[in-house]
Amino acid sequence: MNDPFQIEDEDTEPTSSNINNNEPVYLEKLNLVQREAVEATDGPILVLAGAGTGKTRVLTARLAHLLRTRDVRPYEILAVTFTNKAAREMRERVSELVGGPAEAVWLGTFHSLGVRILRKNSELVGLQSNFTILDSDDQVRLLKQLLEVFDIDSKRWPARVMMGLIQRWKDRGLTPEKVPPMEVSDIAGGKLIDLYQAYQERLLTLNAADFGDLLLHCLTIFSDSKRQDVLNEYQRRFRYILVDEYQDTNRVQYQLMCHLCQRHRNLCVVGDDDQSIYGWRGADIRNILDFEQDFPEAKIIRLEQNYRSTPTILKAANQVISQNPQRMPKKLWSQKPIGVPLEWIEGKDEAEELELVARQIKIQVLRHGRSHSDYAILFRSNFQSRLIEETLRDSGIPYQVIGSTSFYERKEVKDALAYLRVIHNHSDEVSLHRIINYPRRGIGKTSLIQANYYCQLLGKPLFEICKQARQHSRIPTEAAMSMESFARLILRYRQRFQQEPLGEVLRDLLSDVGLIRDLETQKIDPKTKEKRVGFVLELMRGLDRFVEQNPEKRLRDYLERVMLFTQNDREEDSASNQVTLMTLHSAKGLEFPYLFLVGMAEGIFPNQRSLDESGEEEERRLCYVGITRAREELTLSMARRRKRYREEISQTMSRFLNDIDPSLFQVAPGGKMDVVQKALQKKQSRADFFQQLRRLQ
């Protein structure tokens, strides 16, 4: 696979075979508003793309249109997405339309963009070009070390929590010196800013950056008045900039785009404020709500025709989201048949609620000949999945859970990757500490303490101490010999990775260090053991595939690709004919013919903690996202009682249901009276209406 930010020679022109005077095919299937969004190329543009309105088609067509009709070279276009998968699919689609020029477009994620810029300008922020990118676990491990140095109680102030606060500052574009003191006065004894500063200094020492740094460092470079030449270079280059999922951008991403677009001001952002659901991880809805204020000359284009859901489902979604005061007006509509009414399920407790859901799925699959893969069950919080899984399993319904531990987050995979990272960058001490005694080679904690003593005394990195460990008297002899043997192994494989096929070398490496052998001899459940070994074998296969697709790439390129596999990227699941289970956050961007939203009760959804921390509006947007995942049928459910610890508590219906017109719901089969009509005639409360539905179930 090509580097998503590969720059072609600037003298390269688009091939003439892709440029002609005929009406382009990418415009043929667009509605009038979609076509307007494609053809309005110059100046700031905000495309408000509601759920299911063909956003991807518009983005693809817009890129093709720029390449085909404008006097612009491919490398003068920057298109930013939130996942590598989205970037890959967009490039493939544009390539089908215009051919070769699509390969030279700067198309990738924000973090890919940051890496590309930072590799070229790393010395401006104190890094070498071969810097390592730390993942979240490595960040926490590093911060734990610093908590000890600062004598901060890690039980009261856990490293993971402290790391989260630091990352939120980075999302806002705040370096240590820019953090308002009042934000930390009562945290970790007022030491958090100093901790942040020490953490950044330690990263530089390790020649490392975390994900937040990939963008924050770029912003630091662009904001440096003494290095305007760097910013000017990129401003001149990028004549046209496109940003997908703009409602999910944080402040540092917003600031980067503002810097880059100032020369030409051809910034097109596509998003939907009604689908802004990631405030908890730094997304700032103000970026899209204030776009007109930031760019007074901006053109606003609203995509409102929905091609996914029935009018019934869309009406319910519109009624829920319209209660949010802070939003840009839009109303989804569809030309599809009106569709069936919404279904309502209510159980006396959580077990009965989910049993009724399972029964509905079984009946519908048998009665209508549907596939299990047509169904999805969405829930607000991860804790709900256990009982859902148990119920489906007991009912004999096959299922898959989306959003479990990522492949690259599994311990055995991280261990194998740590070896590769140390081979690539000897200064990566986070990875070095992870593997120096795994599998066990007689280098215990005491020996490492002594080795770190010499690091401080001599001002040398740990790997250099390991190379000549027997020269340092405090390190026990046997441990010193193991350290030197380990260092020789790393150096030997560094040379091999530079000269030989990557997959073959990795196999030899893992055999030499005994990693697979260690997994095979662990006293654990055989199935778990098989899975863990299988993950390492899959890593080898993945490296083989990478080499096949990118024969010119080396170890650094592979590690960079792996580390840029963000939490937004979903692994492809090969399983078929299974009901999909996932949280509402994981479901964004997906759609299903038949959808169940379970746990529609106050305290569950909306989530009480989220209400307390950030208010109702984002929870309501999350409900809107959930509803608009349904194409044909939508069922909502709740339990009247649920267990909380050892106590059983009563539940009330989610406030979001109060916004939905009763006429959109279906009367349960066997009902002897038209409760919907009665509800409309008497203008009865939603609670009374749902109570009547319950009696007829």
Continuous segment of H or E residues that includes residue 512: helix 502-513
Q: Can 191 be counted among the known catalytic residues?
A: no
DSSP string, 444-464: -HHHHHHHHHHHHHHT--HHH
Distance between CA 336 and CA 348 in Å, rounded? Answer: 36
The three-state DSSP-derived secondary structure of 305-355 is ECCCCCHHHHHHHHHHHCCCCCCCCCCCECCCCCCCCEEEEEEEEHHHHHH
Whether 56 sits among the annotated catalytic residues: the reply is: yes
Q: Which entry of 56, 175, 197, 323 is annotated as an active-site residue?
A: 56
Structure tokens at 59: 């983005």
Q: Which of 170, 327, 621, 629 is catalytic?
A: 629
Both tokens of residue 570? 């979903």
- Rounded-to-integer distance, Cα 90 and Cα 61, Å: 10
* Nearest partner of 132 among 107, 111, 115, 147, judged by Cα: 115
H/E stretch holding 644 reads strand 630-644
Which backbone phi and psi does 649 adopt, to 5 degrees?
-120, 155
Say which of 135, 210, 244, 346 is annotated catalytic: 244
Q: Which of 138, 171, 213, 245 is catalytic?
A: 245
Could you say which of 34, 53, 55, 73 is catalytic?
Answer: 55
Contact 217, 125 (CB under 8 A): yes
**The two three-digit tokens of residue 85, written as one number:** 């998968």
Number of H helices, E strands in the chain: 28, 15
SS3 269: strand
Backbone angles phi, psi at 132, to 5 degrees: -90, 145
Is 244 one of the annotated active-site residues of the chain? yes
629: annotated active-site residue: yes
DSSP string, 209-259: E-HHHHHHHHHHHHH-GGGHHHHHHHHHH-SEEEESSGGG--HHHHHHHHH
The candidate with the shortest Cα–Cα distance to 268, out of 76, 54, 37, 74, is 37
* Catalytic center residues: 55-56, 244-245, 275, 629
